[in-house]
Copies of this chain bind each other. A is one copy, B any other.
């Protein structure tokens, strides 16, 4: 049996004020085509269908249309959970009617214990949840972390395991050891929200949503689908797409989905970016620019958007590799020496004579004000 695994659609999310609904619709149509081409038996959507709990009406219409297209037009069974960006109550609207056509939608941790059986596999649909939700669902105040709650959840799921079936967990959480990127909302810090991988051992496969980088965790049977689109400049070099899980072998194949227009990151001088005989990327693309210039450039964003209407943002290149480092901060140094060091670290050359003079004059004035 072949199961398509996708997650983190974030329908309704924009980029720097640009509406992405059309881009999202195009990626969705490609996803739909993958499901057809690969003749999958069902589709897993592992949370964050919406980008916001209170989506606008246009977004609600688009998501409603997507579910209808897949489930009613294409007759594709769907296994859907809510993520931290979804409103459980709103996403659950109509769920009691959906089951009849094989649309299985779960937004409550308490209901995740009852598996959905398709062919040779039991699917446990575990939505994103807070420890407080687990405390209520299982009447157990001791479940103060996701890890503690997950120990209970997994144990209860194991009680329902049919030994003649495979067991797949569909979930939306932060698997311990994963790497965050820029566009996921960090709900907790300090690892309190992390699920240790060994807790997931009882399952034959774990189809995850939450992290947008599909390579965020390296484990034989635990896989993030990654987001449907590139939603942050940190994701522009990630290949987006979906997985096709073969439940006979519990192996998966990645199928890339290229978004249109693309989201790219260009690092170059303002002159090269704007004055070339042709643009450095298609004018329809969304672009984050990193300028190598150090001079002030007046009316920068407007001038960039004349050539690249979908300019998402612009920043300046530094020569610093933060990880490798930079000089230690030595507060014994006099301010002028410190400034020289910082300038060298970030700009990659020493201050010239004019800059030295300006800095010295300014520092003197600042010291006087003290």
Let me know if A88 is at the binding interface, CB within 8 A: yes
The residue that A89 contacts in the complex, of B53, B64, B100, with Cβ under 8 A, is B64
Contact between B97 and A60 (Cβ–Cβ < 8 Å)? no
Q: How far is the CB of A75 from chain B (nearest CB, A)?
A: 13
Q: How far is the CB of A316 from chain B (nearest CB, A)?
A: 41
For A98, the chain B residues whose CB sits under 8 A away are 94, 97
Render A68-99 as a binary contact track against B, CB cut-off 8 A, 1 for contact. Answer: 10001000000000000001111011111110
Render A27-70 as a binary contact track against B, CB cut-off 8 A, 1 for contact. Answer: 00000000000000000000000000110011011001000100
For A53, the chain B residues whose CB sits under 8 A away are 57
Copies in the complex: 2
For A96, the chain B residues whose CB sits under 8 A away are 68, 72
**What is the chain B residue whose CB lies nearest that of A62?**
B89
For A57, the chain B residues whose CB sits under 8 A away are 53, 87-90
**What is the chain B residue whose CB lies nearest that of A61?**
B89
Let me know if A101 is at the binding interface, CB within 8 A: yes
Interface SS majority for chain A: helix
Interface residue count on the A side (C-beta < 8 Å): 23
Q: How far is the CB of A200 from chain B (nearest CB, A)?
A: 30
Given the complex of chains A and B, what is the CA–CA distance between A88 and B57 in angstroms?
8
Given the complex of chains A and B, what is the CA–CA distance between A58 and B87 in angstroms?
11
Given the complex of chains A and B, what is the CA–CA distance between A301 and B228 in angstroms?
55
Known contacts A54-B54, A100-B100; decide if A64 and B88 are in contact (CB<8 Å): no
For A68, the chain B residues whose CB sits under 8 A away are 96
The residue that A93 contacts in the complex, of B54, B64, B72, B88, with Cβ under 8 A, is B64
Q: How far is the CB of A166 from chain B (nearest CB, A)?
A: 28
Residues of A within 8 A of B (CB): 53-54, 57-58, 60-61, 64, 68, 72, 87-90, 92-98, 100-101, 103
Q: Could you show 11 A-B contacts with beta carbons less than 8 Å apart?
A: A57-B87, A57-B88, A60-B87, A60-B90, A64-B92, A68-B96, A72-B96, A93-B94, A94-B94, A94-B98, A97-B100
The 10 A-B pairs of least Cβ separation, nearest first, read A94-B94, A57-B89, A97-B97, A60-B89, A93-B93, A61-B89, A68-B96, A64-B93, A97-B98, A60-B90
